[in-house]
Chain A
């Protein structure tokens, strides 16, 4: 048991430590204290990637949670064909991340992409737009693709959660004449709180650490506009060789995620006890 623990634990501890060294690829590892973090404070590119990382993470998480919840509610109404719908909705989740990226690249492609072709046919645009290299459209484009891939997971969790709410609660509310909206507010939402907390926390972590999809879609472009924190860390380490600095970025990411979880879960727990 212990060796298994160590196999994944030791590299991580070493990774965190490297974030406090000035290690460059091929050089010596020597402790440099907080030097990396001092450099970071003045690193314009670092701040930009954190900014876009935040924007991406909050928007994608918020959209996937709300859309996932709506979809789960719809699938929980006992409509006909529900089981077929529930299988089909999982399709994006079953795709390898790299293929998700390639599919969306195809859709956004300026000359053969579905989006441009359809918009042109409908007469909404005159000239094809190069979505992924445009400063205006690159961020919305990656967000639409990102949300698309995350809805199934959220909906699946919510659906499992909805199934655990006892039907008798709704029957009682029905007898008391509560409207559907009130039932949702006062039964569904409170009962879903623990799952909501879990899905929001996990989604925030996963989205903040996103890499593959964005790498395929934009490689961080245009002009570093979509360079999420993981892309920044990857480039620092394996393109420029600043391994110590890249690990430092990784450490900052861990701190940001931990802070988010700490505050978010504290608010959630407080609400539950009051």
Chain B
């Protein structure tokens, strides 16, 4: 009697329900996190343990040998340097072009702006191949295929729409009254932009720089098409090549290099998460 009463009680039912839901979420997380955990674990295992045929999540002996191997392989190091170079230059150019454009886009509402915003959304439909082919031909006539500058050019073209969209959202949030007030106080247009708008936009510029950098750092398709000399490979292309020559000793270093390649994304992600939770996304999807 007592027990059945207890079972019927709402709070127990709810507790079981909650437990079930926690269990389900943890199942999801197991699926979503397992590959990363396995990769990190592999990167610290000795080669003997990797090939031992016994699955283990925590290495029996922790070793840094694979990271050491990565830093001794000249081509991998070179590819990291190339990726850094391409990412930084791309980020600078993209933001320098997009910033004034984003300002114009959100402050002066003309018919052009509607077209541009529509274009940014529709451009998602087109597969990368349709952009790559004409750019490849242009770069070839300029003798820029198989150069890092050529790759930067492609990334600039590819990244501008999204960065523009991202920045104009931020500019919109700065009340125009602020500019009007400054104008009444006698500030010139350039003063308004450099003294008022820029400082307010700094976090947004930071986010845009980081986004452009990461998207170049992560990009694979364009780099695969454009870069032929091993010296010029970016990290993703080098990693892909590395898998092609799989052998006994490769699994560990590959896991270590993959983990290194992930670090910038994790940094971006930590920063962007703040951006998401600040409600920018909620606002964007509400409409």
Residues of A within 8 A of B (CB): 1-2, 4-5, 7-12, 14-16, 18-19, 67, 70-71, 74-75, 77, 79, 81, 85, 87-100, 102-107, 109, 111-112, 114, 117-118, 120-121, 148, 151-152, 156-157, 160-161, 163-164, 195, 198, 202, 205-206, 208-209, 211-212, 215-216, 229-230, 233-234, 237-238, 243, 246-247, 249-251, 253-254, 257-258, 261
Contacts and interface: CB of A to CB of B under 8 A. Distances in A.
Interface stretch (B2-10, B16-24, B177-185): B16-24
A112 B126 CA distance: 38
Given A8-B160, A11-B131, A85-B29, 7 more contacts: A15-B131, A106-B251, A121-B55, A157-B285, A163-B282, A209-B128, A247-B133
B160 A90 contact: no
Contacts of A10: 134
Interface of B: 18, 21-22, 24-25, 28-29, 31-36, 38-39, 42, 50-51, 53-55, 97-98, 101, 104-105, 112-113, 115-116, 119, 123-135, 137-138, 156-158, 160-161, 164, 217-218, 220-221, 224-225, 236, 239-240, 243, 251, 254-255, 258, 261-262, 265-266, 268-269, 273, 276, 281-282, 285-286
Contact of A254 (B53, B126, B161): B126
The 4 closest A-B pairs by CB, nearest first: A117-B55, A15-B130, A96-B218, A14-B134
A71 B22 CA distance: 11
Contact of A96 (B32, B34, B265): B265
Given A106-B38, A118-B55, A198-B285, A237 B243 contact: no
Contact of B25 (A74, A90, A156, A198): A74
B33 to A, nearest CB: 6
B129 A205 contact: no
B38 A103 contact: yes
21 contacts: A5-B112, A14-B137, A15-B133, A18-B133, A88-B33, A94-B262, A94-B268, A96-B261, A98-B239, A99-B39, A99-B261, A114-B38, A120-B53, A157-B285, A160-B282, A205-B124, A205-B125, A216-B240, A230-B129, A237-B132, A254-B127
Nearest to A163: B282
A229 B130 CA distance: 12
Nearest to A246: B129
Contact of B35 (A5, A14, A92): A92
